[in-house]
Structure 1
């Protein structure tokens, strides 16, 4: 027992193991297998550790999918001035963001389909939780890009929350609904997103 305690994972390693276990259970056995009891057992941790971090197994699963999608798309979860490329212009940063979102959505899409089926049967709003997380990320990243643009003299103020979320919302539409009609990133930014960012900058 002592030996097991010494080798038990902690911190980031434990978090990554928890996410991997949750996704493996979901993929192999379905969402009903993603319980705190099962995750704790296979991740070799305690249920109390999970209860301290997540309100429900569904919330854990949303975080696991979000983490997995970021890890496999190259679009870092940890936003700071170093982690997102600085292209030297607001237009360039928005185009880079559009490209990264496209890759992120490709990864998330396979889980959205499963979540939608589960939601239709059980009435749980897993997709809504994932959407909320995506919108929070869009506002955080948008604020970072706007701050850069202000420092360069391209903007005077940070755009509204609705404008900061515009790119992500449009990309979601083309990624999950009108997949055959998606414009390329440059066209999307030049015709829709950048004009919205530059509006109301008196």
Structure 2
């Protein structure tokens, strides 16, 4: 008789099964009954920890991204210039989006359109706050370095993330390093510097 998994072993099994189902069949195929069966646990265990399959999918995908390159919010983007920091941050953000994959990112659109969309709205608000925190750190360093003087609005702080997310969701074209550089040089930096007048 197989030993029932517990603790980290169980969590890793649940995450692995969730990611595998998503990769093979799409997010619509992810449900607690199937994950419980394939990971060797019960639906009760899953319901106790995650309010919905979407919440579980989110944690499973984030776990993989964090294993590969750590948490974006903890990263140090110290290149010595505002432009360099923005390029470094958006390159890391792009890699995280690539790891999470279009299937998951497009699942967000499907979840937002549901009547009961509390989980995804909570998640998006958490992402927004994390993104603001990341940009505030970068812009604070730029102020200390004398590159900018004035504060920047939240709309401009969120602009790089929202533009990349839009491209990732709506286009099948890959996000290249050239695209990131063009985004920084032609959109983000001009928007930041426009608020320094």
TM-score, with structure 1 as normaliser: 0.69
- 1:70-90 CA-partner distances (Å, limit 9, x unpaired): 545x3x32522xx33311121
In the alignment, what sits opposite 1:17?
13
Report the equivalent of 1:58. 54
Distance across 1 between alignment mates of 2:179 and 2:45: 44
Could you report, residue by residue, the CA deviation over 1:176-196 in whole angstroms, capped at 9, with x for unpaired residues? 435389753333212210122
Q: Secondary structure at the match of 1:146?
A: helix
CA distance in 2, matches of 1:117, 1:165: 19
Tell me which residue corresponds to 1:34: 30
Find the residue that maps to 1:165 and give its secondary structure: helix
Q: Which residue of structure 1 lines up, in the alignment, with residue 71 of structure 2?
A: 77
Deviations 1:144-173 (A, max 9, x none): 222332333334455222111111112233
C-alpha deviation, 1:49, in angstroms = 4.6
Alpha-carbon distance in structure 2 between the residues aligned to 1:20 and 1:175: 24
Q: Give the secondary-structure state (helix, strand or coil) at the position aligned to 2:7.
A: coil
Aligned-CA RMSD value? 4.0
Please name the residue that 1:185 is paired with: 180
Per the TM alignment, residue 15 of structure 1 is displaced from its structure 2 partner at its CA by: 3.9
Contact 2:108 2:120 in 1 (8 A): yes
Larger CA deviation: 84-93 vs 15-24: 15-24
Contact 2:22-2:103 within 8 A present in 1 as well: no
When structure 1 is superposed on structure 2, of 59-68 and 90-99 the one drifting more is 59-68
Q: Any unmatched runs of 5+ in structure 2?
A: none
8 A contact 1:89–1:149 mirrored in 2: yes
Q: CA deviation at 1:133?
A: 5.3
**Secondary structure of the residue that 2:73 maps to in structure 1?**
coil
Q: Secondary structure at the match of 1:184?
A: helix
Distance 1:24 1:176 in 2: 21
In the alignment, which residue of structure 1 is the partner of 2:138?
145
Q: Distance in 1 between matches of 2:39 and 2:191?
A: 46
Instruction: Give the Cα–Cα distance (whole angstroms) in 1 for the partners of residues 149 and 125 of structure 2.
Output: 28
Tell me the residue number matched to 1:98. 90
- TM-score normalised by L of structure 2: 0.70
